[in-house]
Each structure stands twice: as C-alpha cells, then as structure tokens.
Structure 1
C-alpha cells in the first residue's frame, strides 16, 4: 500500500488528535512511498532500527519515538545515528505514545486487562473517556500474592509488590502502563484495592502504606509491549502488508 494510505489508516485507527501529548504522534520520519513490510516495537532504539533494516522493512511503528517535549532540538550523537540509519535505508518511522496507551482494544491498558483477566474496564478519571489510567475488577477476589504471581507470570518478569497495611483481598484494581505510578493516589481515593503500573517512585511506597492500597510495579517496558504487538497482529489481519512485532528486551 502507499505510504499516505498507511498513514491515514493509522491516524484513523489511533486518533492522535484526541489527546494532548509530549511528542508528535504519527509520521515522524518519512521513508519510501510503498509500504509492504512493517515492524512494530516499543521504542525506536538503534537495536530495533537495525532489526528493521535486517528485515528489509518499509516502516517502523513504535510507542516511543523521537522529538520529546523539552529535549534538545539538536540532532547529534545517538539521535543522529538513529535518524541517519532510517533515512539511509528509506524507512518511515511512526510513533504513537498516549494514543497507543488508551486505545480501547489495541492499547497497552486494554491489552493488560486481557492478560490479567480484568473485567468491566472504565476510566479512572471520572468523566474523562480518554483517561490514561483505567479501573476494573476481577471476577473473584484474589489474594495479594495471587495477583503478584499472575502479573509476574504474564509479563515474564518479577513484579515488585508494596502491600497495603491491611493486606486486604483484591477485587477492584486500577492500572496505567509505563510511568503511570502517579495515579495511585486517585485510585486510593476511590477505594480501589490495588494499583498496577510500570514504574515506582519514592513517594509511591508512602501512598500505598498510608492510603491502604496494594501497589504492583511491573516494569515500564513490560507493561508497554502489548500495544505494539497487537498492532502488528491487527495489520496482518486488516491490511495488505506483512507485519512483525520485535521485542528488544529492557529490564526497566
């Protein structure tokens, strides 16, 4: 398909205009006019770009691209090497940050709900249909240890659990992929039993302990693999392209 057709499809699917973000969403680096093979991944690292080159990809679609707010405008060093490799190989780079977190079926949060068997998903921010953080519930109560094991097994990494002082059973849960730990207080204010995110901050522990809410830190990369993976599967089902998800391991 033509590059402009692929771009239009992505923008129609992910609707980046709906949400204010920290980076430009959509086509960031323009490559060749035809798109036959697409690689998806979490971050546009040199390792992922090198894999896309080896796979002879026409386009790379990621969650974390380039040109973040407040970073230097200068293209040198690591950024120069990455962009040079894309341009030299005529590979387009598409990036969708928050739009890929919040998409109702393909998004990172929606995919985590499937992995963890969470039902009745709704926005955590009441009245905000585009809330980056969401809430839901399990069909039956889980012990804190059971949820820790479920997260660790599904994401294939050891999950950090900061227990609520009451060590209460878990029926309701809220979550935000990536660096969404700041939403824990909002979840606690709503009486939710547990909060899951990809990162932890120093103050997160105090909120969990003082507001009696379980907190699970599951890894930034680990919680954001699944939107990019779902995109590749979606492309293979709905577009005349060959798509492949490549996971570049990151312990963070």
Structure 2
C-alpha cells in the first residue's frame, strides 16, 4: 500500500519548522501568527519530541507485525479506509501556499518529482532483484517506491532540518499526480513479478488517495465556515491562521 502518514499532531512540527525557515528564506510557504516567545518555544520543544518519537513508533510497529502477523491480519480489510482517513487529514493541512511554492520554485519541485518517481521506483526494482525477493515482497517493495509521498516525508525532512516547504510542495504534487503515474510505473517494474491490473489501481488510488485529499482540502478551506467543525474533530491538523 501507500506510505502511511504519521499522526496529524506531527504537522504542528512541520508547520512550525516551515515558519522558522521563513526568517531567512523568501521562498518559504507559510508563517505562524505572532505569540509570546515562551509558549512558542515550549510548543516547539514538545513538537520536536513528538516528531522524534515517530521513527521509533514505525520501527516498533513493523517489528510487531513481523513477529505476530496474525495479531494484525484482521485489520487488512480496513487498511484502505484507514488510509483514506489519513489522506483526508493530509488534505486538511494543505493550503494554497503549498501550490504557490510550486510556482515559485518549479525546477526544485520538478527535481524532487524526478527523484521520487524515477530514482525511488528504480531502487525498489534493484533491491527486489538483488535480494531475490519473493514475487509478493518484490511487488510490495516496488509499489512503495512508486507510491506518492505522504506527510511522513515532511516529518523526516523536519528531523533532518531540511527544506520543509519544498517537501510539502513535492508531496502535494506527487499526490495529485499519483493516479496518472503510479499505475503505469508499477505495471512496468512489478509486472514481471506479479500480474498488475493498472486500471483497477487507478480507480483505487482515486478513491483512496485523491478524493480524500481533495475532500479534506475543501473542508479545510471552503468558504462558509465549513472548516470550523473539521478542525474541531482534528485539532492537530489546524495550520496557522495566516497560512
């Protein structure tokens, strides 16, 4: 499946980092409202601690799944719905500035997309062949490389003290392009391991990724106060008012 995003509380860290980089970079996409230094510093420290724990949680969950797969196999039918919820929350965090970053730095975003949809799928194919993985595992590794970015990539960028605004722009564009790019790439690279129904994959990506993202964005930014109720249900997703 597609890469899962972290809990949306981590987006506070992503937004805070994007704001802090705005002091030295004219290309950063968003700013946070002014507040007293001490509460802001405490919030930043809490956000960084939460984000730092994220890789540990991912590794622990992976180890638990490998150790006792039967414990979690019952969740398998619910994965598409859970992923849809995650992508909806990602849509809630998206702002017009995410797209304006593409206009301001088109070549940087294009380079990020090339790295995402050329280098990563290629590495997935090389790893699958070099390790002699079973067809199911090989197809899964390749699919991960062909999948669009989730909000987890923004968290990793934040931990590495990278350009979070650029990461958000690349994640946004890669998600929008996923229905057009992921199925043919998967068919090309994973078709030798397992039969791939590219048409069905397009439909699944539209239902599981693109529609929830668009729905979340609409709920978060449509006029008429629609966003108020959505933020009440998902307060950790709320971007800064000036975003």
Greater strand proportion: 1
> Common fold, TM-score beyond 0.5?
no
Q: What TM-score do you get using the length of structure 1 for normalisation?
A: 0.31
**What TM-score do you get using the length of structure 2 for normalisation?**
0.32
The structure carrying a bigger helix percent of its residues is 2
Q: Which has the higher contact order (CA 8 A, sep 6+)?
A: 2
